[in-house]
Amino acid sequence: MARIIKAELAVDRAIELVKAGELVVFPTETVYGLGANAFDARAVAKIFAAKGRPQDNPLIVHIATLDQAKDIAVDIPPAFYALAEKFMPGPLTVILKKSDKIPDVVTAGGDTVGVRMPDNVYARKVIAGSFPLAAPSANRSKHISPTLAEHVEEDLGDSVKLIMDGGPCRVGIESTVLDLTTDMPTILRPGYVTANMLAEELGEVSEQGKIIRVAKAPGMKYAHYCPAVETVTAPDVERAIKAYDVARAQDKRPVVVAREIWHESLRGREFISLGTTAEDYARNIYAALHTAEKRNGYIIIEELVGADIAPSVMNRVFKAAGGKRV
């Protein structure tokens, strides 16, 4: 029978067992893991035997420090380190190209390997004190994953010597599995770290054939293109005129920045021309805003509608106005 020992008291014993090629059950934030020295094919084979797991289902390798990833994987892309910074330790497994040091039994003969840094300090102490741990969830194959030490004892108590008891698992479902060896990062198993969270870091990920994209140009989330004085946009000239007259009544020294075609309607009001075409508008807009912020206290910009460059120009103009419209 397995001994269930409080995780903090079981670290040394677990290290001994791993070094001796034995199995240990360790807590993680997702579910309990059934671990063995990932570099030891004979030790890893015991995992498959204990679980009754099919040999063609690869195991995740658990690490304690990012340095250890280099022993497990090769050609590690920068994206891995970007994700690590954000999500590790945590419930994310990243599939990378396997290193020759990892025996085939871990990866079910494949040339890729799953790498994950569990968010449990005692699990990481064991790994740091022994070896990276190849580990699946600590349940019999096809049974429910364990989120308490007792669950493991019921399922695997006869085939393991030590269960480190870390209490209930905080996350409670298995890690997100993300493949970084494909052209587009691909989620193989959804989890606590969602497609959107990953797309925020990577720009795009694919999940179940769907592509999730997040605009990632650096700086786009910060305020940009902002004049030093209050600025709004107006969808048409009537609204621009109304806003102008209200602002003038409040002594705000308003100006309308618009295309030349509105000059007649704006007669008697201060006006800066952007030329006539969309290209003119793009070419002149920043200069107009420079002038306006020096001379005026309130800027009303005509919105440009249409296809082609209009949306790109309006991307800057809406930012300049902080999204304020009249």
From 24-32, 66-74, 151-159, 272-280, span contacting ligand TXA (CB under 6 A)? 24-32
Which residue among 38, 84, 116, 244 contacts ligand TXA (CB under 6 A)? 116
Decide whether 137 or 273 has the Cβ nearer to Mg ion: 137
Show the site string, 86-105: x = touches ligand TXA by CB under 6 A, - = not.
Answer: -----x-x-x----------
Partner whose footprint covers residue 57, from ligand TXA, Mg ion, none (CB < 5 to 8 Å by kind): ligand TXA
- Interacting stretch for ligand TXA, rule CB under 6 A, among 7-15, 160-168, 169-177, 202-210? 169-177
Interface stretch with Mg ion, choices 67-75, 83-91, 129-137, 292-300 (CB under 5 A)? 129-137
Of the candidate residues 114, 132, 166, 227, the single one contacting ligand TXA (CB under 6 A): 114
Q: How far is the CB of 174 from Mg ion (least distance, A)?
A: 6
Residue among 2, 43, 59, 156 that touches ligand TXA (CB under 6 A): 59
Size of the site for Mg ion (CB under 5 A): 1
Q: Minimal distance in Å, beta carbon 81 to Mg ion?
A: 27
Nearer to ligand TXA, 102 or 278 (CB): 102
Tell me if 63 contacts ligand TXA by CB under 6 A.
no
Our finding on whether 137 is near Mg ion (CB under 5 A) is yes
296 contributes a contact to ligand TXA by CB under 6 A: no
Of the candidates 153, 174, 302, 303, which one interacts with ligand TXA according to CB under 6 A?
174
- Secondary structure (H, E, C), the chain: CCEEEEHHHHHHHHHHHHHCCCCEEECCCCCCEEEEECCCHHHHHHHHHHHCCCCCCCCEEECCCHHHHHHHEECCCHHHHHHHHHHCCCCEEEEEEECCCCCHHHHCCCCEEEEECCCCHHHHHHHHHCCCEEECECCCCCCCCCCCHHHHHHHHCCCCCEEEECCCCCCCCCCEEEECCCCCCEEEECCCCCHHHHHHHHCEEEECCEEEECCCCCCCCCCCCCCCCEEEEECCHHHHHHHHHHHHHCCCCEEEEECHHHCCCCCCCCEEECCCCHHHHHHHHHHHHHHHHHHCCEEEEECCCCCCCHHHHHHHHHHHCCCCEC
Residue written as token pair 């090629």: 21
Closest distance of CB 258 from ligand TXA, Å: 57
How far CA 79 is from CA of 24, 76, 146, 169, 222, in Å, comes to 31, 8, 31, 28, 23
> Phi then psi for 286, rounded to 5 degrees?
-65, -40
- Contact partner, 30, from ligand TXA, Mg ion, none, Cβ < 5-8 Å per class: ligand TXA
- Tell me if 147 contacts Mg ion by CB under 5 A: no
Q: How many residues does the chain have?
A: 326
235: tokens are 């969808």
- What residues make contact with Mg ion under the rule CB under 5 A? 137
| Residue numbers at the binding site for ligand TXA (CB under 6 A) | 28, 30-31, 33, 57-60, 91, 93, 95, 107, 110, 112-114, 116, 118, 135-137, 174-175, 177, 188-189
